[in-house]
């Protein structure tokens, strides 16, 4: 019997099976590997002295769980990279709707309270005591996808025309001319998401959502005057919060003069992080040889993991980590510049800008460059579901890289 002929691949299947961008993939895996090693070193003592369940003095608790999530995240990254990214267009409104529902659930009894903040949900929602995640992590990428899916069509859309016979019509024509009406749906979405995140007292999460949205809007061609105006409004809001909220004033006072604060209370985390960085010297104490992780630096496996990394690997090791992140970010923008269409370009710009902002905010806090934001370091800080979401985002970029047009051969 003759062997059955193989089915010809459709154009969509051929596009989705293009080559991955290997430099980007290698940088992701390299940072992930270094991050796991540093997490094991930074978390060993913290887990060993924690007698509460589920840690139970198990020094391998954090690294074991993070490694399992990393393996699942790499598998998810590969599977997502095999999907034709054009499917993300119709998925964008669905993803945004799911993100908003999840954010609302944080305000219900299903919301999980950690450190007096209710901004988490259990992965299985109705089954308690399992792994948790922050819906704001989902909201960040959902907003980027939604904005990219809509804004990629703005060059082909016709401007609205209203009657010039009435005052209302003339006003609407003027608002359309300056681009206000175009921004209304994006503004409504952003205000809704930012409001839900901010009222959780998760200002850093709201800031990242705004950064990702702003990056997509800027690259899509929205007038710079709107960014100047909204930036001024943002500065004014921060000023109002500073004058009316003691918590914000305290944050800024600690940032401007951390050495005058109570060394055992407000200034403790920052000071210990600086001591950790300073004691590393040029080449570091050696992998696993940090002294500050032994109960001095708070949360060495989370927000302050970079300070432990510099202590053990030295200034040279710290710069190498920054160089790897810089190369990953630059390669991401290179993929955006060479993307097959505007939707792919906007999506990559939004995701890469989110990554760049998160790295900047985390290391800026550790080194005292900016006020404390509570933002973790991608691929390094402990947090299994956050790591999986990061790797899924990298999978989206790799999916877009598969369809980069081949260079012409003259």
Of residues 268 and 127, the one with the higher pLDDT is 268
Question: Is the per-residue pLDDT at 23 higher than 50?
Answer: yes
Question: Is the per-residue pLDDT at 53 higher than 80?
Answer: yes
Phi, psi of 291 (to 5 degrees): -90, -35
What mean pLDDT value characterizes the chain?
Answer: 86
Give me 182's structure tokens. Answer: 């175009």
What region, left, alpha or beta, does residue 125 occupy, with left being phi > 0 and alpha being psi -120 to 50 degrees? left
- What is the mean predicted confidence (pLDDT) over 279-305? 90
Give the dihedral sign, CA 89/338/380/371: negative
SS3 326: helix
Distance of CA 71 to the CA centre of its chain: 19
Give me 371's structure tokens. Answer: 């006020």
Question: Is the per-residue pLDDT at 397 higher than 70?
Answer: yes
Both ends of the chain: CA-CA distance in Å? 46
Tell me the C-alpha distance between 40 and 307, whole Å: 14
pLDDT in tens, 171-227: 777 777 777 778 888 989 998 998 898 887 777 888 899 999 999 999 998 888 888
Lowest mean pLDDT among 116-120, 142-146, 252-256, 370-374: 252-256
pLDDT band with cut points at 50, 70 and 90 for residue 101:
very high
Tell me the C-alpha distance between 101 and 215, whole Å: 24
pLDDT at res. 1: 41
pLDDT at res. 5: 45
Question: Is the per-residue pLDDT at 120 higher than 80?
Answer: yes
Tell me the C-alpha distance between 284 and 308, whole Å: 10
Lowest mean pLDDT among 182-196, 204-218, 259-273, 392-406: 259-273
Tell me the C-alpha distance between 312 and 302, whole Å: 16
pLDDT at res. 12: 57
Highest mean pLDDT out of 61-75, 123-137, 241-255? 61-75
Give me 47's structure tokens. Answer: 């887990």
Question: What kind and span of H or E run contains 185?
Answer: helix 180-198
Tell me the C-alpha distance between 95 and 110, whole Å: 20
Which burial class, exposed, middle or buried, applies to 72 when counting CB atoms under 10 A from its CB (0-12, 13-18, 19+)? middle
pLDDT in tens, 320-335: 999 999 999 999 999 9
pLDDT at res. 408: 61
Please tell me whether the peptide bond between 348 and the residue prior to it is cis, using omega within 30 degrees of 0.
no
Which residues contact residue 122 at a Cβ distance below 8 angstroms, ignoring those fewer than 6 apart? 110, 112, 128, 129, 130, 131, 132
Lowest mean pLDDT among 3-7, 116-120, 227-231, 269-273: 3-7
Phi, psi of 218 (to 5 degrees): -65, -50
C-alpha torsion angle, residues 177, 179, 182, 187 (rounded to 10): -150
Q: With beta carbons less than 8 A apart as the criterion, state whether 375 and 305 touch.
A: no
Tell me the C-alpha distance between 164 and 53, whole Å: 70
- Rounded to two decimals, what is the model's pTM? 0.90
pLDDT at res. 338: 93
Tell me the C-alpha distance between 120 and 127, whole Å: 13
Question: Is the per-residue pLDDT at 2 higher than 50?
Answer: no
- What is the mean predicted confidence (pLDDT) over 335-351? 95
Tokens 């002929």 correspond to: 5
Of residues 15 and 257, the one with the higher pLDDT is 257
- What is the mean predicted confidence (pLDDT) over 68-91? 94
Lowest mean pLDDT among 74-88, 91-105, 108-122, 240-254: 240-254
Percent above pLDDT 90 for the chain: 51
SS3 85: coil
Q: With beta carbons less than 8 A apart as the criterion, state whether 364 and 48 touch.
A: no
Burial code (b: 16+ CB inside 10 Å, e: under 16) for 3-29 equals eeeeeeeeeeeeebeeebbeebbebbb
pLDDT at res. 7: 54
Give me 249's structure tokens. Answer: 């004033």
């Amino acid at each position: 019997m003759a062997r059955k002929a193989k089915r010809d691949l459709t154009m969509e299947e051929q596009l989705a099976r293009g080559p991955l961008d290997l430099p980007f993939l290698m940088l992701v895996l390299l940072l992930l590997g270094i991050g796991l090693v540093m997490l094991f070193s930074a978390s060993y003592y913290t887990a060993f002295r924690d007698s509460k369940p589920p840690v139970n003095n198990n020094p391998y608790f954090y690294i074991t769980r993070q490694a399992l999530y990393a393996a699942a995240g790499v598998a998810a990254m590969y599977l997502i990279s095999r999907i034709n990214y054009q499917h993300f267009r119709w998925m964008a409104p669905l993803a945004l709707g799911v993100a908003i529902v999840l954010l609302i659930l944080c305000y219900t009894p299903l919301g999980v309270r950690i450190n007096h903040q209710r901004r988490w949900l259990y992965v299985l929602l109705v089954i308690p005591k399992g792994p948790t995640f922050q819906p704001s992590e989902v909201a960040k990428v959902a907003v980027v996808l939604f904005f990219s899916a809509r804004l990629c069509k703005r060059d082909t859309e016709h401007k609205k025309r209203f009657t010039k016979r009435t005052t209302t019509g003339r006003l609407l024509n003027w608002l359309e001319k300056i681009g206000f009406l175009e921004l209304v749906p994006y503004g409504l979405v952003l205000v809704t998401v930012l409001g839900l995140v901010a009222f959780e007292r998760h200002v850093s999460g709201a800031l990242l959502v705004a950064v990702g949205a702003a990056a997509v809007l800027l690259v899509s061609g929205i007038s710079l005057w709107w960014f100047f105006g909204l930036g001024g409004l943002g500065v004014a809001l921060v000023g109002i919060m500073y004058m009316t909220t003691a918590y914000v004033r305290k944050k800024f006072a600690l940032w401007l003069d951390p050495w005058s604060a109570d060394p055992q209370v407000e200034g403790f985390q920052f000071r210990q992080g600086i001591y950790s960085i300073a004691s590393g010297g040029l080449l570091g104490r050696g992998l696993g040889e940090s002294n500050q992780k032994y109960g001095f630096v708070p949360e060495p496996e989370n927000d302050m993991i970079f300070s432990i990394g510099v202590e053990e690997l030295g200034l040279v090791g710290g710069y190498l980590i920054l160089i790897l992140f810089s190369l990953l970010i630059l390669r991401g923008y290179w993929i955006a510049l060479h993307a097959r269409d505007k939707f792919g370009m906007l999506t990559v710009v939004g995701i890469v800008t989110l990554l760049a902002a998160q790295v900047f905010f985390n290391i800026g806090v550790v080194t005292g460059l900016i006020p404390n934001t509570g933002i973790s370091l991608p691929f390094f800080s402990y947090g299994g579901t956050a790591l999986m979401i990061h790797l899924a985002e990298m999978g989206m970029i790799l999916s877009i890289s598969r369809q980069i047009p081949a260079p012409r051969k003259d």
